[in-house]
Amino acid sequence: MNMLEAAQLKRVNVLGVGLSAINLDSALAAVTNSLAQKSKGYVCVTGVHGVMEAQTDQPLRSILNRSFLNTPDGMPMVWVGKLRGFREMDRVYGPDLMLLVCEMTQKKGYTHFLYGGGKGVAEELQRRLELKFPGLKIVGTYTPPFRPLNTLEEAELVRIVNEKKPDIIWVGLSTPKQEKFMAQYRDKLDATLMFGVGAAFDFHAGKVRQAPRWMQRSGLEWFFRLCCEPRRLWRRYFRNNPLFVFKIVCQFLGLKKYAVD
């Protein structure tokens, strides 16, 4: 599968955001082929939060729709896809995809670079991943400030990455920061694929607990995360979740049409 074929993978229109109609196996196959062919692109992992942010952020919506893959990161995305007839579609959760790709590249020798996280997170993530996958090649880390890079910082990042020439850059910011970062730096950084995996950095570095698998599969991960970080997340979930349900019902009933542009 080359980049053109990947771009032609069917997508599900979720409020104007095209979600790749894939599962973990097909996502890994697409990533593997892209790396083999050195076809540049970026991978977004998108759930309700990303879709709702894109409702009022046209640049973000365009970034998501121009991605190499835009994986269904939340169960509501999967349910919408299945209702649209994509029976093989399943959740492609950022933390799970990260581990699968690391396992695959451990055997093939591809190299990684970690960008994001708070102080010390990327370094701890590197340590843990290298313990979990002996022989995994992580060639560098970069912890950015909580703001856009200035001219000197950008030049430093470009220099570091382009000296290392990693095959993969993992971006652990938040939505929409990580998606906009990948779109902005895709052509500046000498790497094949960039993955925006958000909280996967904190999860795999042991900084934040993950929801039990049964809660992830039943669509209740948001509730678990809300209980863990209520001050940070309550506005997101109490605003976005009911509004998403309302909008998606309107889309299904044909009361509102959304173009994937």
Look at the block and give the residue holding tokens 């001050």: 231
Burial class (CB in 10 A: 0-12, 13-18, 19+), 58: exposed
Residues 129-157: b if buried by 16+ CB within 10 A, e if exposed: bbeebeebebbbbbebeeeebeeeeeeeb
Is residue 246 in some structural domain? no
Global confidence as pTM: 0.90
The packing angle between helices 48-55 and 230-252, to 10°, is: 70
Is residue 195 in some structural domain? yes
Is residue 239 in some structural domain? no
pLDDT of residue 86: 95
Domain that holds residue 13: 3-204
Is residue 61 in some structural domain? yes
Sheet holding 111-116, edge to edge: 69-72, 41-46, 193-196, 168-172, 111-116, 137-142
Is residue 12 in some structural domain? yes
pLDDT of residue 213: 83
Is residue 128 in some structural domain? yes
pLDDT of residue 215: 78
> How far lies 116's CA from each of 113, 142, 143, in Å?
10, 6, 5
CA–centroid distance for 202 within its chain? 14
- Number of domains composing the chain: 1
> Looking at the chain, how many residues does it have?
261
Is residue 133 in some structural domain? yes
**CATH number, domain containing residue 171:** 3.40.50
| Contact yes or no for 93/203 (Cβ under 8 A) | no
Q: What is the chain's pLDDT, residue by residue, as a tens digit (261 residues)?
A: 444 444 447 999 999 999 999 999 999 999 999 999 999 999 999 999 999 999 999 999 999 999 999 999 999 999 999 999 999 999 999 999 999 999 999 989 899 999 999 899 999 999 999 999 999 999 999 999 988 999 999 999 999 999 999 999 999 998 999 999 999 999 999 999 999 998 899 999 988 888 788 878 878 787 777 787 787 777 777 788 899 999 999 999 999 999 898
pLDDT of residue 1: 44
Is residue 75 in some structural domain? yes
231: which 2 tokens?
Answer: 């001050």
Q: Give the whole-angstrom CA distance, residue 70 versus residue 44.
A: 5
